[in-house]
């Protein structure tokens, strides 16, 4: 959450001390609550819908998609259990548990637990995609369902190990001078550095490494393939590279400001401006909105069921029997036309598809690649 500071250092200020008045602070808190509220609505819609797709089509839950399921589950927990309390804590006199230190600690630990479990899962997804694309023959033996389940448990175990130390004295949690429940990064330099390394710099390095190796793989295999096979291989590798590229970009956008701010402010004798803290926190939560749309649209089978579910939901409100513009039984995309060629049905389906696309901020990056 917001970065608080209790110790004063003799280093140069990277920003001026925050002398904001009451009105400015109130405006900042209201903006924070409004932005996070929008994130809650968007995240709930996306995560629940994609999780419903997995529930509707269990055959999609192969090992790779189990990692995606775990990531979306962590995002959903963050959205339902943490964000509403952060919103309440951002409003004046709205802290729901009478400012108890225990509840504040639990909130901060849970926030980082779900976020770090998601980070660890993203790393696993990147490595899994690298193995599946670069070593397709040995991949089934390496990534068995049992090993996949073990990796999922490991993501949560590491997340707990990364988020729990402040409960035992390595790091400090409390209310900052603006009465916001915060993790005081300056209370333990070692913990701040370790967390920044394990939850941002190391994951970024691993993901960039996977992206680079997947990206350069086509050129290494050009001489050993025929023209047609080479074209297909290049297409598959480029598509996989786009997936990893979007994952890395979204991760840097969401986790980067939060991690960098916590590291930079270690040496600062004054807390950062509230607007900067709010911006980093909003981006920190924003990743919960990105993941379902990235994975929903970067995988054809999930995307097909995603759109089919949207269309079925729209039609269920107006018709007694289901009528979908995308038939999922045979995996083919086709338009269902009523006897009277009702154009409204098609309009509803394609409007749902268009609205879904609007929720994908990184689709332009993936197309550009």
Could you give the CA distance from residue 30 to residue 158 in angstroms, rounded to a whole number?
34
Tokens found for residue 196:
């920044």
Q: Is 302 among the domain residues?
A: no
Radius of gyration of the chain (CA): 23
Lowest mean pLDDT among 202-216, 256-270, 305-319: 305-319
User: pTM for the whole thing?
Assistant: 0.75
Same-domain check for residues 229 and 103: yes
Q: Among 260, 291, 322, which residue terminates a domain?
A: 291
Same-domain check for residues 271 and 188: yes
Q: Is 298 among the domain residues?
A: no
Same-domain check for residues 276 and 344: no
Same-domain check for residues 21 and 49: yes
Q: Among 261, 291, 321, which residue terminates a domain?
A: 291
Same-domain check for residues 67 and 111: yes
Q: Which residue has the higher pLDDT, 59 or 150?
A: 150
For range 294-323, the mean pLDDT: 65
Mean pLDDT, the chain, whole residue set: 75
Q: What is the pLDDT of residue 235?
A: 66
Q: Among 291, 320, 345, which residue terminates a domain?
A: 291
Q: Is 179 among the domain residues?
A: yes
Q: Is 305 among the domain residues?
A: no
Task: List pLDDT tens digits, range 239-281.
Answer: 666 766 777 788 899 999 999 988 888 877 677 888 888 899 9
Could you give the CA distance from residue 288 to residue 301 in angstroms, rounded to a whole number?
21
Q: Is 122 among the domain residues?
A: yes
Nearest alpha-carbon partner for 78 in 100, 46, 123: 46
For range 56-79, the mean pLDDT: 89
Please report, for the domain that includes residue 172, its CATH number. 1.20.1070.10
Measuring CA to CA, how many Å separate 109 from each of 59, 94, 269, 308?
Answer: 34, 20, 25, 38
Q: Is 19 among the domain residues?
A: yes
For range 159-164, the mean pLDDT: 95
DSSP string, 245-277: HHHHHHHHHHHHHHHHHHHHGGG-SSPPPHHHH
Tell me which residue has tokens 């749309």: 293
Nearest alpha-carbon partner for 288 in 107, 72, 124: 72
Could you give the CA distance from residue 333 to residue 170 in angstroms, rounded to a whole number?
54
Same-domain check for residues 350 and 247: no
Could you give the CA distance from residue 165 to residue 160 in angstroms, rounded to a whole number?
9
Same-domain check for residues 315 and 204: no
Q: Which residue has the higher pLDDT, 181 or 340?
A: 181
Q: Which residue has the higher pLDDT, 336 or 61?
A: 61
Same-domain check for residues 275 and 317: no
pLDDT of 313 over the 70 cut: no
Residue 364, domain extent: 310-368
Which of the four pLDDT bands, split at 50, 70 and 90, describes residue 38? very high
Same-domain check for residues 185 and 145: yes
Instruction: Please count the structural domains in the chain.
Output: 2
Same-domain check for residues 355 and 282: no
- List, edge to edge, every strand of the sheet that includes 2-3: 2-3, 181-184, 172-175
Task: List pLDDT tens digits, range 82-113.
Answer: 999 898 887 766 555 546 678 888 999 999 99
Q: Is 301 among the domain residues?
A: no
Could you give the CA distance from residue 288 to residue 67 in angstroms, rounded to a whole number?
15
Q: Is 303 among the domain residues?
A: no
Could you give the CA distance from residue 165 to residue 147 in angstroms, rounded to a whole number?
28
Same-domain check for residues 248 and 317: no
Same-domain check for residues 267 and 224: yes
């Amino acid at each position: 959450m917001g970065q608080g500071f209790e110790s004063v250092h003799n280093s140069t200020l990277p920003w001026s001390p925050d002398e904001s008045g009451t009105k400015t602070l109130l405006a900042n808190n209201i903006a924070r609550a409004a932005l996070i509220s929008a994130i809650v609505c968007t995240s709930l819609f996306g995560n629940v819908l994609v999780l419903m797709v997995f529930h509707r089509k269990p055959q999609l839950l192969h090992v790779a998609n189990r990692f995606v399921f775990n990531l979306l589950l962590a995002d959903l927990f963050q959205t339902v259990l943490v964000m509403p309390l952060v919103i309440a804590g951002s409003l004046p006199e709205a802290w729901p548990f009478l400012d108890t230190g225990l509840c504040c600690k639990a909130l901060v630990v849970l926030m980082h637990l779900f976020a770090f479990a998601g980070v660890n899962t993203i790393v696993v997804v990147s490595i899994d995609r690298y193995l599946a694309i670069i070593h397709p023959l040995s991949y089934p033996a390496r990534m068995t369902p049992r090993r996949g389940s073990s990796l999922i448990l490991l993501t949560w175990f590491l997340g707990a190990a990364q988020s729990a130390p402040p409960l035992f004295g390595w790091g400090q949690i409390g209310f900052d001078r603006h009465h916001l429940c915060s993790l005081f990064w300056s209370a333990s330099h070692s913990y701040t550095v370790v967390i920044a390394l394990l939850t941002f710099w190391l994951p970024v390095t691993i993901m960039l490494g996977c992206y680079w190796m997947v990206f350069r793989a086509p050129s290494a295999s050009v001489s050993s393939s025929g023209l047609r096979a080479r074209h297909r291989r290049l297409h598959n590798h480029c598509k996989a590279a786009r997936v990893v590229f979007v994952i890395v970009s979204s991760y840097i956008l969401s986790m980067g400001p939060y991690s960098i701010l916590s590291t930079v402010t270690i040496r600062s004798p004054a807390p950062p401006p509230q607007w900067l803290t709010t911006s980093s926190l909003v981006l920190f939560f924003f990743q919960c909105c990105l993941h379902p749309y990235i994975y929903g649209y970067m995988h054809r089978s999930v995307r097909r069921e995603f759109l089919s579910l949207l269309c079925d939901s729209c039609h269920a409100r107006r018709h007694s029997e289901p009528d979908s513009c995308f038939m999922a039984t045979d995996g083919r995309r086709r338009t269902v036309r009523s006897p009277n060629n009702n154009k409204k049905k098609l309009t509803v389906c394609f409007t749902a598809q268009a609205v879904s696309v609007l929720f994908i901020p990184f689709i332009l990056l993936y197309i550009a690649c």
